[in-house]
Structure formats: C-alpha cells, structure tokens
Structure 1
Amino acid sequence: MSHRGTHSDLHSEQGALAGEHPGRAANPVIKVHDIAWLEFQKPDLAKSQIFAHAFGFTTTLQTADELHLRGSDASAPCVIIRKGLRETYLGAAFTAADASDVLRLAGATGSHAGKLPEALGGIGVALRDPSGALVRVVADTHVLPALPAQAPHTHNAGHDVVRTNVMQRPPREPANVQRLGHVVLQSTKYVETLNWYLEHLGLIVSDFKYFDGQRDRGPTMSFIRCDRGRTPTDHHTLAMTLGPRNRYVHSAYQVADLDALAAGGEYLLDHGYHRSWGIGRHIEGSQIFDYWRDPDGFLVEHFTDGDMFDCTLEPGWSPMTASGLAQWGPPATNDFLGISPSRESLRELTSMVSALRADNEFDLARLRGLLKVASS
C-alpha cells in the first residue's frame, strides 16, 4: 500500500529522514480496531466513584471489590477500578477485529486465550509489553446500549447565523464522557516497547518527537493510532514517551464540545477538584483539552475536536518542547509536566539515578534532553 506524505503544517516541519523509524511494522500479527478500557487499582472505590460521576462517567457495576465506569457511547465499560492497597495503573485492553485475531495473537505469543468475566463477556488474551504493563486484546465483549448524550451546541460562527431568538446557556454540570480516547505511558525501554505495539497490535505512528539536538539518536516520543485502512481513527489511541521509570502519564476521554468541556470544568472546580492544565488546544492531535487530577493523583483529560487520520498519512517529526504542547492556552503547568513538588515528582526524580545505572534506553544524554524539555 502506498502512503501519502507526512501531514505538514506549522508544527510538524517534515517527515522522516532517510533511515529513520518508519512508524509501522511491515507485517504485524494483528491490527486492533480501538482501545477498549483501562484498568486501575485504588484503595477507596467510593471516593473514586464520586469523582468519576463529577468527571462525567456512569457506573455500570459496583461491588465491594470492583467498579466499572462507562461513557455514553455504545461500548464496553471504559474504566475498570479494582480495590487494592495502593493506587496503581494496571493496564489497557484493546479491541480486536474479531475473535480469530485474539486466537492468532495468543498463538503467536505462546499465550492462552480465554473467556472474560461475565460482566464483560467475550474472550481475551493477556500479555505484558516490554515495560511490564498489562495489555489485553479482547473480542465479542458485551456492548452496553448508548445512553442519552449531551448534544453539541449550535454556534453562530462569524456571519453564519444558524441560531436566532434562542439564547446560549450551557448548564454548569458534569461533562458527559462519551468514550475513552487514549492513554499515555512512559517507558525506560521506549523504542523496544513502541516496536512491540507496532508488531503485535498493528498500531501505526502519527507523530514522532525527539529531544532537541538528538534527532540522530532517534525519537523519544510517539503518538500512535489504530490502522483501520481507509477508515479514519483517532490521531492517537496510545502515546509513549521515554523516561526514567515505567508509568502511567494520563488518559483522555471525549466530550461533546467546548461548552461541555468548559462548563464541566467549572463544575469540577466548584466541587473542589484540581485542574492540572487547561483549557487549550494541542498541536499533535489538535484536541481542545482540559486536564484534572483525580483524588488518587491520576491525571485525566477531557477532550473534544480531535484529528482523525486514515492509514495513508505517514509520521510527522518535530522536537519535544513544553511550548510545543499547545497551539493556544496557558503555558503547561509544573503539575502537568510532573515537576511540581509531589510524591510522584519525587519518585520520578529518585528513579533517574536508578535508571542511569540500569540496562535500558535512558542514559545521561537522554536525561539532559529530558531536563531541557520543561524550559523549552
């Protein structure tokens, strides 16, 4: 299949140079269709549910040991939280085209495919990526019927008047989450882990980022989408970045429009929750975004108006900078960048020493590149 040149604009200066990473595997085992859900462990499910409802989720299952949360789209739950002693990201599930792909992947990896719990239905195979994160690939799961969704507002754009004698009054209420959009992970074995996802799940790269002055050493971040041929998919379903430890960075959930996002943000502020960064519009993916900390410190994002790409676009390449994270909006905060005083930033700092001593892709030059990002 031939591919069109890179998406070129003000921010992605060019595509790959000769010999650089192609951004896709030549012959992947399967090609997943989408991300299905994320799995977390948290000690207080009641507290998690209160925030989830304020953020815009709906509960589909609640027991003493497990909480399932969904958006309004017809789908499986998009977040599963299990009760445990400490706050932990467990992993992600991806939807296969059909059950035969689950079996094919299980056979190729020497793994066992089996039935999922009755609350989810279908079959799945559980794998571990090179960074140790759980990766499920599932098929034939129960599809929960769609719920009533927030309707996008009707806008008078410039002189194009489509709303007359009707006032605009977005209610200050939770933004109705429609679906899970993507998850961002950090890895000490970035290239190895990236290649694993491309080869096993058939994902393809939309954009590569590299540390300033280190392009010759290869990329250090990638925004990765599903390959569904000519059917457009989210600019990124998974994003990965190189860092001193393996960890969850954030996850993102689609809402109807800017009014839903902004009014939902006011609702969260009214209820005492912490905005990490926003509102703004990203560069890679173009989403309008708003980032929040949940009560356990996990970073979660509301987004709307994201880019959709088909299989024909090749990766863009650009340097990784803090100022390059958004087209407009407030500067990226220290909290979002992970450098404000906190338990997580202390763990990140202390892990830098151990990472430099370990057998991985994070070395002294990469550390210097990472430290430059926050001030660039």
Structure 2
Amino acid sequence: MSSTVGTHTGLHSELGRRRGEHAGRSANPVIKVHDLAWLEFHKPDLARAEAFAWAFGFSTVSRTPDELQLRGSDAGAACVLIRRGPASRLTGMALQAADEADLSRLAEATGARTRALPESIGGIAVDLTDPSGLPVRVVAGTHQHQALSPQRPHTFNFGHELQRANATQRPAREPARVQRLGHAVLQTTKYLEVLNWYLDHFGMIVSDFLFFPGQRERGPTMSFIRCDRGRTPADHHTLAIALGPNNRYLHSAYQVCDLDALAAGGEHLKDHGYQRSWGIGRHIQGSQIFDYWRDPDGLMVEHFSDGDMFDSTLEPGWAPFAASGLAQWGPPATKDFLGVNPKALPYEARSMIGALREHNEFDIRRLVGMMKVANS
C-alpha cells in the first residue's frame, strides 16, 4: 500500500481514512472483474420500453415478443436486457470477468457451476446472489458486437485557445447516443455485508466513502466502488452501494460523448414528454456531468459525461453524506431524486417501518441520519 496516493493531498477528497476504518479493498479477493457487462430488467410493455430506449439513445440489438436487447455505440455485448414481466424492476446484473479461467476459480471458491449462456448472448457464466438477494452473474466469452457510428464530440474554443474558426456550433435536438453502460447504484439494508461481498469476491476497490452526518464513528453508509485494473484507469465507480430501508435499484448511468450531446439529448427527451428527475449538473464524487430521467415505468436512468478515471493506486476518500454535497454545480437535488417526493412518501414510510422491525443495519439512528441527508 506504500505506493498508493493519499486523499489528504486533495486529489479527490479533503478527508482520508482514519485508523481502524474500512480499508476499501479486500486483502485477498477471489477474482478481479474487468467491468459491468449488462443489467437485466423486467418490463410489462416492451414496445413502450423500446420507444423510451430510442429517445434516450440506445440501439436495439434484438427484439422478440418476450425480450429486448439494447446496446450503446461502443463495441461489446448488449448492455441492457429487458424481458417481459408483470412489474418494472431490476432482476439482475452481469459482471465481466477477465477470462474463463477466472470463472473456474470463482465457481470453485463459491461452490457454483459454470454454465452456457443463451445463444443470443453467447459465452459462459457463474450465477451468484449477493447478500441483499440480487442475482449477479459473472460472464466471459459473450458475443462482442462491432462498434456503431459514434456521436462526435464538439470542438471547443476554450478561453483564448482557438480550435474552431469560421464554423458554428449547432448541436441537434436529437437523442444523445449512448456509448456504454457506466454504473449502477443500489440500496440495501445490509450495506456493509453487501460491500464486503463485492470486494471479497470480485476484487473491487472503494473510490469514496460517505457517512451520515455526525455518525462517522459508526462507519460509512455509502460507497462508490470501481474495478481493479491495476495501473489501467477504470471508472470512479462501476457500482455504488447505499444503506437504506429496503433492497432496491436506484439508478443506472450511461455515458454520452460530451455536454452538448447530454443537454441536447435532454431537450429531445423533454420534447417527447419524458420526466427529468434532476439535472443538469456536475457531481462531486466521480465528477460526472449528469442528467437524470425517469423512464415510463418510473425507473431512473442517467446520462453522464466526463467522469473520473482512477487506477488501483488511489486510496478511498471520506466525506459526509449530504444532499447539498452531491453536486459541484447545478440545481439543488430534487425531491424526486432524493426519494422524498410526496407521491412516494407512503411507500417510503412503509419501507422504513418494515426495515426497523428487521434485524439489519438500518436502525433508528440510521433513519435519523438519512433524514438529515435528505433535508441538508
């Protein structure tokens, strides 16, 4: 660990780890996954889901009466799989292994088996379930689609640095072309157990910890974790895990080429009647320029651009969890984004009451801390 970069330098957080706090990585993980491969959802109406997907900037890989596969413009496998189901929900996710040998090692360590994936996907997988009950499959050898024609970033005149002359900027109000799946954010009542499971099994590394105001001594309640690719930089977070009153999907994020694509794509979504949840702004943890939207079934998805990339040498940052600390600039976090929309309050109240009755990490003091976050 002597070669790691300390957070006290101010590189990405003003606070670093204290003695005895979580190290943010496993000493001996089973394997080290390479990336987030895809997310799997159920949706009751595939035609409606595909219409939103096109407006959001996905391309269709395949469509049957019961399954829709979506992709970005980057080369690779489909990054969203939607199957027909009675309710709209996340049903699982896939992580990309470095190679098939890692799958054999993972299967041996967990008692699981490798199995062939459907021909439409290709490759093999090891199927596991995280401590919150979410199916997680680790895959290798899947079909890799060739890259599509990308959306080109604009050429900017920054200050006195002239890059564009005798030419105008006219970004079209059209779908922002999704390049790739960036990350998923999950909430769980078993935060520490779930975090350690991902670090121990898949060799992921914490980029940033957040803790509830006044509760640092009780440990973190949210972590942004990335893949360990050694000296090759990886996304600031491939997964983010937060403590909360139930186990659920919060949002997933998809990269677009630049701010103009994100903003003009947002105008296209607005013109077609879709609901913005929060944006446009720039995050603190991860630094992404963001724009959050609700799909027709209420699930949250994010366009992002210009995110941080860290290699394995960077230690975790520590920061208090506050709604006002979620963005460097942009509008205040909305009630919809924070989950305190009046329409959702009856459901949230039932979730909190249920969680407090169960034996898990979400107790009365954590509830008070979470409410301080929402009202900060």
TM over 0.5: yes
Which amino acid in the other structure matches residue 361 of structure 1?
E
1:372 aligns with 2:340: no
- What's 1:358 paired with? 358
Which amino acid is 1:85 matched to?
A: P
CA distance in 1, matches of 2:8, 2:102: 30
Residue 75 of structure 1 corresponds to 76
In the alignment, which residue of structure 2 is the partner of 1:205?
206
Please give the TM-score of this superposition, normalised by the length of structure 1.
0.98
Cα distance in 1 for residues equivalent to 2:108 and 2:136: 15
Alignment RMSD = 1.0
Offset at residue 10 of structure 1 (A):
8.7
Q: How does 1:6-155 map to 2 (within 5 A)?
A: 6=7, 8-9=9-10, 12-155=13-156
Q: Which amino acid aligns with 1:350?
A: R
Which secondary structure state, in structure 1, belongs to the residue aligned with residue 182 of structure 2?
strand
Deviation, structure 1 residue 348: 2.2
Equivalent pair of 2:7/2:14 in contact (CA under 8 Å): no
1:5: which partner in 2? 6
Query: How much does 1:8 deviate?
Result: 4.5
| Percent identity for Structure 1 against Structure 2 | 69
Is residue 179–residue 255 contact of structure 2 (8 Å, CA) maintained in 1? yes
- Paired residue total: 375
Aligned partners of 1:30 and 1:147: how far apart in 2?
A: 31
Distance 1:96 1:10, change over 3 A: closer
Q: What is the letter of the counterpart of residue 300 of structure 2?
A: L
Query: Could you list the runs of 5+ residues in structure 2 that have no partner in the other structure?
Result: none
Matched, 1:336 2:314: no
Separation (CA, whole Å) in 1 of partners of 2:319 and 2:349: 26
Give, in angstroms, the shift of residue 92 of structure 1: 1.1
Which amino acid letter does the alignment assign opposite residue 141 of structure 2?
D
* Cα shift at 1:4: 1.9
Instruction: Provide the residue aligned with 1:269 in structure 2.
Output: 270
What CA deviation, in whole Å up to 9, does each residue of 1:2-27 have, x standing for no partner?
A: 32212743972221100000000000
Output the CA distance in 1 between the equivalents of 2:372 and 2:11: 22
CA distance in 2 between partners of 1:187 and 1:81 (Å): 23
Q: 1:374 to 1:8 in 2, by over 3 A?
A: farther
Query: TM-score normalised to the size of structure 2?
Result: 0.98
**CA shift digits 1:22-79 (9 cap, x unpaired):** 0000000000000000000010000000000000000001001000000000010010
The answer for unaligned runs of 5 or more in structure 1 is: none
Amino acid across the alignment from 2:266 = G
The 4+ residue runs of structure 1 with deviation greater than 4 A are none
Contact 2:254 2:304 in 1 (8 A): yes
State the Cα deviation string for residues 191-211 of structure 1 (Å, max 9, x = none). Answer: 000000000011000000000
Counterpart CA distance in 2 for 1:124 and 1:268 is 36
Aligned equivalents of 2:323, 2:277: Cα separation in 1: 15
1:277-311 superposed Cα distances (whole Å, 9 cap, x missing partner) = 00000000000000000001000000000000000
CA drift at 1:106: 1.2
**Distance in 2 between the 1:43 and 1:53 partners?**
17
Matched to 2:375, the amino acid is S
8 Å contact kept, 2:8–2:14: no
**Residue 349 of structure 1 pairs with residue 357 of structure 2:** no
- Maintained 8 Å contact 1:8/1:316: no
Does the 8 A contact of 1:11 with 1:318 survive in 2? no
Matched to 1:273, the amino acid is Y
What's the CA shift for 1:346?
Answer: 2.9
SS at match of 1:173: coil
5 Å-filtered alignment, 1:271-310, equals: 271-310=272-311
